[in-house]
Amino acid sequence: MVQPGMSSVSKRINTQVLIVGGGPVGLTMAMDLAQRGVNVTVAETRDRGEPPSVRCNHVAARTMEIFRRLGIVRAVRNAGLPADYPNDVVFRTTATGLELSRIPIPCRAERYTAKGGPDTWWPTPEPPHRINQIYLEPIMFAHAATTARLSILNRTRVVDYVQTDCGVQATAESLDGAGTIEISASFLVGCDGAHSDVRHVMGARLSGDAVVMQTQSTYIWAPQLLGLISRPSWLNVSLNPRCGGYLFAIDGRERWLIHNWRPPTENLATLDRDRCIRQILGVDSTFKFEILGQEDWTGRRMIADRFQDRRAFLCGDAAHIWIPFAGYGMNAGIADAVNLSWKMAGVLNGWAAPEILDSYQIERQPVTEQVSRYAMNTAFFARQSRGNVLPDNLEAPGPEGDAARARVGREAYELNVGQACCGGLNFGYFYDASSIIAYDGEAAPRYSMYDFTQSTVPGCRTPHLWLRDGRSLYDALGPEYTLLRCDPAIDVSGLAGAAARRGVPLVVREVDAEGSESLYPQRLVLSRPDQHVAWRGDALPEDPIALIDRVRGASTGT
C-alpha cells in the first residue's frame, strides 16, 4: 500500500506492460515482449550496475535456447568460468579430500562438440551453461538497456496498484527521494521475488512446505584453495560425517560459494560458520580466506494459489519458491516468463483473444508443482532428510575404507546424475490440460529427472532436429506460430488462410532433416511461439478457422 507521507506525483508513465523486478526473470520477459513489438517498463529497486546475488549458478538448456532467440546466447556462453575449467560435479570427503565419484560435464570450450558425457546427447542447439548470476545478469541488463521499446527504472519500488477494466494503475516510489511515479499499463507482471509486493497486493497465498531445510550460504575469497584441489570441478559435494555441503567455483580462480545444508530444526544462529566452512573445505585453522558475503536462509517448497488476478500476473519466485536443486530456481521462472510473454504480446498486438491469458496459470502451475517435487527429491536433499548417514570408515585408509568410498561414490553418482544432468526437467515436461492446445487423445511420454522422449503429442516440446542445410530447426521457426510440414505435397493454404483471416502470424516451414519420419510421424505439426506443440495431423482439420481460434484463445470465431 502507499506509505503515508509520500511526496506528490513527480512523473507519469504510460506503457503497455509494467514488469516489477529486473532480475533474470523480469529482464527475459521484458526483452521477449520488446522483441515482439510491445512497449515495456521494468521497475527495479537496485541501482544500475549494482551487483546481483551469487545464488544462481546454472543456466538450463531450455533457457539457453531462449537466450539464443533473444540474441544474447554468445555473450552468456563466453562469460563465467574460464573456457577450459572443468564443469564436472564431484563428490569428495571434503573439497580438498578424497574423491568418491565424478559426473563429467564438458567445459565451455568443449560444450558444443563433446559427445561422451551424460548430457551431451541432448537434442538441442544450446546445451546448458554453468555461470554465476554475477556474470549473467550484467549481460542481460546491458542487452535490455539498449533494446528498443524497453525502459528500465532503477531505484524504483512499486508499492501499490489498482485495476480497471482496461488497465492497471501502479504507484511507485523513487528510492532516491525523487518523488512518486504513477505508471499506467495494460498489464502488470510481478517478477519481484520470494517476498513479492505484487503477490501481497494481489492477495495470492503461498502453500506447501514452509520449512524444508536451513541453509548457511557463504561467499568467500580464497586464492590458495584451487591449488589444494587435485582435480577441479564446477561443483564439489563434500560428504563426511562432520559437515557436508556444496562448494561452487565462481570464477575458476579464487572466488567460491559454499552452501551448508542443515536440518529444518537447526538454529543457524548457533552454528559456527567458520568451523563448518573449514570442515566442508577440509582445511585447518591456518588456512586463510575472506568472507565476501553471507546469508542464512530457509529452504521452502511453496506455490501460490493463483498466478493471475485479471491484469496482474506472477512469475518466478513471486509465484513459487523452492530450493533450487537441479538449477531449477531461476530457470523455472524464465520458463514462466516466456510462456506468458508471447500470449500477452498476442493480446496487445491484436491477434490473440484476451482469454488466452487464462492458459498461463492452467499450464504453468501444474508444471511448477511437478518440477519442484522432482528437483527437491534428488539425492543430496534426500540424504539430508535421512540424517546424512555415512559410514564411519569413509575416510579410513586401507581396503575397508576403499570399499566404503566406492559404495558411497556409486550411490552419489546414481542419485545425483539426474540433478546435474536433468534432461527430463528440460525437455520432458508438457502441458496436458490447456485450453489453447488441440489434443488428439494420445498421452504424452512419461519423463523423469534425467530421462525423456521427444514427442509431437500436443503439449510437448516441439522435437528438435538438425536440418539438412545445417541449421537448427529452432532457428528456422517463425517468431509466432510455425506450421511444420514434413510432406511438401500437402496443401496447407486452408490453414494459412484461416490464420491470415484472424490476423494470427503464421509461417510454414518444410522439415527436411534426417530422422524426421520417426520424430514427426504426423506430416503436419503446429508449433507455438514457445516451442510447444499446439496441434498435429496428417491433413488439415475440417475447420481450420476453429483450430486457429482455439490456439489464439477464442473458442468461437469473431
- Alpha helices, DSSP H, located in 349-456: 358-376, 379-385, 399-420, 423
pLDDT of residue 2: 42
CA angle 430, 374, 423 (to 5 degrees): 60
pLDDT of residue 55: 81
Report whether 421 contacts 326 (CB < 8 A): no
CA distances for 326 relative to 234, 246, 425, angstroms = 14, 13, 9
CA distances for 123 relative to 172, 277, 430, 477, angstroms = 44, 39, 16, 16
What's the DSSP call for residue 236?
A: E
- Alpha helices, DSSP H, located in 36-176: 61-70, 73-77, 133-145
Distance CA 110, CA 87 (A): 10
CA distances for 3 relative to 160, 200, 285, angstroms = 9, 15, 49
Distance CA 286, CA 462 (A): 55
What's the DSSP call for residue 42?
A: E
Distance CA 88, CA 404 (A): 22
Helices (H) and strands (E) counted in the chain, each on its own, are 16, 24
| Residue range 9-79+130-206+302-364 in CATH 3.40.50.700 | no
pLDDT of residue 532: 98
Best CA proximity match to 192, nearest among 324, 314, 47, 274: 314
Lookup result for grid cell 475440417? 542
H or E element at residue 333: helix 330-348
- State which residues of the chain have pLDDT below 50: 1-6, 379-387, 556-558
pLDDT of residue 353: 98
pLDDT of residue 245: 93
323-347 burial, b at 16+ Cβ within 10 Å, e below that, comes to bbbbbbbbbbbbbbbbbbbbbbbbb
H or E element at residue 159: strand 156-163
pLDDT of residue 380: 46
Helix (H, G, I), strand (E, B) or coil at 28: helix
Residue 251 exposed, middle or buried by CB count within 10 Å (0-12, 13-18, 19+): middle
CA dihedral 533→538→539→540, nearest 10 degrees, is -10
The residue count for the chain = 558
- Number of Cβ within 10 Å of residue 163's Cβ equals 17
- Domain positions in the chain are 9-79+130-206+302-364, 430-551
DSSP string, 449-483: SS------STTSBPPP-B-TTS-BHHHHS-SSEEE
pLDDT of residue 3: 47
pLDDT of residue 53: 86
Report whether 68 contacts 28 (CB < 8 A): no
CATH architecture of structural domain 430-551 = 3-Layer(aba) Sandwich (3.40)
Residue 132 exposed, middle or buried by CB count within 10 Å (0-12, 13-18, 19+): buried
What's the DSSP call for residue 532?
A: B
Which positions ≥6 away from 84 have C-beta within 8 Å? 107, 108, 109
Which positions ≥6 away from 414 have C-beta within 8 Å? none
Report whether 182 contacts 169 (CB < 8 A): yes
Helix (H, G, I), strand (E, B) or coil at 498: helix
